[in-house]
Amino acid sequence: MTPNDDAAFTETGKDQIRLLKWLLDEACPLWSTHGTDRVRGGFHERLSGTQALQEPRRARVQPRQVSSFAQAALLGWKGDAPALAAHGLDYFRKYYRRPDGLYRTLIGPDGASIDERALLYDQAFGLLGLAEAQRVIPSTALADEGRKLRSTVFQLLRRKRGPGFETALPLGEPLCANPHMHLFEVALAWMETNDDDEWHALADEIAALALSTFIDPASGVLREHYEGDWKRLPGTPGRIIEPGHHFEWAWLLLRWEGASRPDVRRAAFKLIDVAEQHGVRNGVAVNALLDDLSMHDSSARLWPQTERLKASALAARLTGEARYWTMAHAAATAVFRYLETKVPGSWYDKLTAAGTLIDEPAPASTFYHLTAAASQLTASVAKRDI
């Protein structure tokens, strides 16, 4: 081990301590109290300081918060994660479940339906919430519920011709890589908590689709939007690539078979390299490029920074290379920039192209990204210490 290797790891180790302390001592107390609706149930969509906003609530937020509190409990948070998980799932079932067994995408703060569409994206997070809740609520009922929802997704959203899944019901929207990515994440989460072979099969199916269709083997670029035959959409929508999703797919592929399959490792590390070399400007991962790697949207939300941190931390753990520890430290430095708010445990969500953080209510949906980043960074540092 060279001095440079040790120096890179030491800085990342300090980041891990700082991020975990922030999560457990500031973020969890804020979002488990002010971010939780004790009157109507569920979790609030956004907080302005410590004030909850009464506004429409996306389906994805409820199981994401369940996942966040369950992960935080595994990291040492002493709050009542089982009760919070049950609170969120009860609300999710009561107000979002449609008669067909899928979940609608948007309701009002009073629980009334606003948007009846069933998005694949939201079903994936419903499955993730159930998987992660098992970590704090051991229950065969949750496993049964997950299998039932999976079966409904397969029945109603699996494409009739060709691989993959539809984007939504009603049908007709372009096919998208992103909800498949979250189904991949879901399958991996269930594989950690359940011995059902169908989750393994789902992970294998989506990984194969990513490697054969989403990721260009020559450039390493991963495109987002497609026509019904998995040809990219014409025009700009078909050319958009997102550095944050490159990092996120890399993290998932490395968790799947990245430790054992050279072809998977090559694809994952290429995704990281593309995003790091072309999608990081002025210290932050930007929102979007075009497929020729030119800039499309140079503003930067918080979540791509967390995905950069997760991917680089796992790559560092698997390879031991100092450059990935250095990348993880750079990513953590970017994350901390968004966390320096007047309200402990809150965050800024957007950084403009000019480098200005936008002072606006904090979206609850980002908590899931931050908790996962703290979890991966903690695991990587712990493994390096052994």
Domains and CATH numbers, the chain: 215-386 (1.50.10.10)
pLDDT in tens, 180-217: 999 999 999 999 988 899 999 999 999 999 999 999 99
pLDDT in tens, 54-82: 999 999 999 999 999 999 999 999 999 99
pLDDT score, position 103? 99
How many Å apart are CA 206 and CA 224, to the nearest integer?
A: 14
Cβ-in-10-Å burial (0-12, 13-18, 19+) of 257 comes to middle
* Per-residue three-class SS string for 117-148: CEEHHHHHHHHHHHHHHCCCCCCHHHHHHHHH
pLDDT in tens, 321-334: 999 999 999 999 99
Structure tokens belonging to residue 164: 């993959």
With cut-offs at 50, 70 and 90, classify the pLDDT of residue 1. Answer: very low
- Name the amino acid, one letter, at 236: T
Mean pLDDT of 23-41: 98
pLDDT score, position 3? 52
Percent of the chain with pLDDT over 70: 98
pTM here is 0.97
Question: Does residue 385 register a pLDDT over 70?
Answer: no
pLDDT in tens, 137-186: 988 999 999 999 999 999 999 999 889 999 999 999 999 999 999 999 99
Average pLDDT, the chain: 96
How many Å apart are CA 277 and CA 290, to the nearest integer?
A: 14
pLDDT in tens, 226-279: 999 999 999 999 999 999 999 999 999 999 998 789 999 999 999 999 999 999
Q: ∠ CA 324-330-336 to the nearest 5 degrees?
A: 135
Question: Does residue 2 register a pLDDT over 80?
Answer: no
How many Å apart are CA 150 and CA 124, to the nearest integer?
A: 9
